[in-house]
Structure 1
Amino acid sequence: MILQYQKEQLHAIIVTQEEERKRIAQDLHDDISSKLNIVSLNTHLLSAPNLTIDETNEITENIINLTAKALENSRKIAHNLLPPVFEKFGLNAGVEELCEEFESSKSVKTHYKNEIDFDQKDIDRHLHIFRILQELMNNSLRHGKASEIWIAFTNDNGTNTCHYEDNGIGFDSSNLENQKGLGMKNIDSRVSFLNGTIKFDSQIGKGIAVNFTF
């Protein structure tokens, strides 16, 4: 039974990694490569003889605009892979920024509080916590249609715990099939890496509550 569970966890991790790689490859191809191709074509056009000043200005403006967009998109891709604020200032700052991003771009109200002093030397472990929250927040919006999210890090009798809630449409948590999606398996795998436990509590129409230890 344990071996089967470990196999399922490993499978979930591999599938998630491949999905992520596919998404990054798509982003690089669509956002970066296509724009740089047009920049290259425009650069060759500049070397054409008998260009008017207006034509030269138009081509130059195209190159500047496309280069700026390619640069902005490459920053976004890098940021999604690992936010600089997380790497530089740790988990607390990373989650604060994550909440700000959700509030500004995805029109959801977030409430975040932290009572734990995170040690920067554990950043590899903290990355799992960050990814779990990313997954939970995306699920809250994508599936739960939530408008409010609550996140709290507390130390409960010596155990570090994350309490997560939303006010979305919820699901029947007594039905295990609802907890078998790829995102849930990925969360499960990360909690396992943290030697923690996780508990989902939800009812249809009453949002979701998740508690995990780490």
Structure 2
Amino acid sequence: MEKEINFLDLKSISQKNQLEALIVTLESDRKRVAQDLHDDISSKLNVVSLNCHLLNTPNLSQKDITEITKTIIEYTSKALESSRRITHTLLPPVLERFGLHSGIEELCMDLNNKSGVVVHYTNNLKFDFKENSNHIHIYRILQELAKNSIQHSEATSISILFDIVNDRRTCIYSDNGIGLDINELKNSKGLGMKKIASRVAILEGSVSVESSLNKGMTVVFNF
């Protein structure tokens, strides 16, 4: 009975940690979306609204009307593009339709084309499409790691490997960036490691980070 009680206590703690991790992750996602909506779409729609009001100005010349109309069309198009980008960020269509492997391939292609970073992706696992609700967390983890590699670590090369390690499905992510001091990692808020740890906890896995200054960074997580 003591063993059974201890097991139930551990199970309860694990479930509580997963729930807390889920809440942290959801709130982080909500904050990011709210910021995108406020900073990007709202600002563009404000310009559209202002120019619509300008059209009611008396005695406008045809040239003024043409310029105002051009601005309205331009910023409406920008708002639509921002809306598509945010929607794609929330749930990439390729991930929903074709699964995690295709989603990561598209992510790597985007990184190669838009950021100038060379990404090497190798997958020795078979992702079950039925687990796609969990796979979104893996996708988000890779997004966060890539963002850190490009914006903070100044990396020019990224490696992503999925394989079986110690009987667990594992992802090994590494870059050739400037690295970081592991002792400062716990106090760092800019690396998004809290988000990553939360998502790994939801996947019932563990995560480890190896890095040193000017020697890149390696993040290993299983699920």
Q: Give unmatched runs, 5+ long, in structure 2.
A: 1-9
2:207 pairs with one of 172, 190, 198: 198
**Aligned ranges 1:24-35 → 2 under 5 Å:** 24-35=33-44
Residue aligned with 1:112, SS: strand
Look up the match of 2:216.
207
Q: Indicate how the Cα distance of structure 1 residues 47 and 80 shifts in structure 2: closer, same or farther if over 3 A, else same.
A: same
**Aligned ranges 1:1-214 → 2 under 5 Å:** 14-15=23-24, 17-47=26-56, 50-156=59-165, 158-173=167-182, 175=183, 177-179=184-186, 181-182=188-189, 183-214=192-223
**8 Å contact 2:24–2:198 — kept in the other structure?**
no
**8 Å contact 1:9–1:185 — kept in the other structure?**
no
**8 Å contact 1:146–1:167 — kept in the other structure?**
yes
AA of the residue aligned to 2:143 = Q
Q: CA RMSD in A?
A: 2.9
Q: Give unmatched runs, 5+ long, in structure 1.
A: none
AA of the residue aligned to 1:78 = T
Aligned length: 212
The 1-side partners of 2:22 and 2:204 are apart by 16
Q: Indicate how the Cα distance of structure 1 residues 45 and 207 shifts in structure 2: closer, same or farther if over 3 A, else same.
A: closer
Greater mean alpha carbon deviation, residues 12-21 or residues 95-104:
12-21
TM-score of the superposition, structure 1-length normalised? 0.82
The 2-side partners of 1:44 and 1:97 are apart by 42
1:36 shift after superposition? 1.9
**8 Å contact 1:199–1:212 — kept in the other structure?**
yes
**8 Å contact 1:13–1:186 — kept in the other structure?**
no
Q: Indicate how the Cα distance of structure 1 residues 30 and 144 shifts in structure 2: closer, same or farther if over 3 A, else same.
A: closer
The 1-side partners of 2:193 and 2:13 are apart by 17
Q: Indicate how the Cα distance of structure 1 residues 193 and 25 shifts in structure 2: closer, same or farther if over 3 A, else same.
A: closer
Greater mean alpha carbon deviation, residues 114-123 or residues 151-160:
151-160
Residue aligned with 1:116, SS: coil
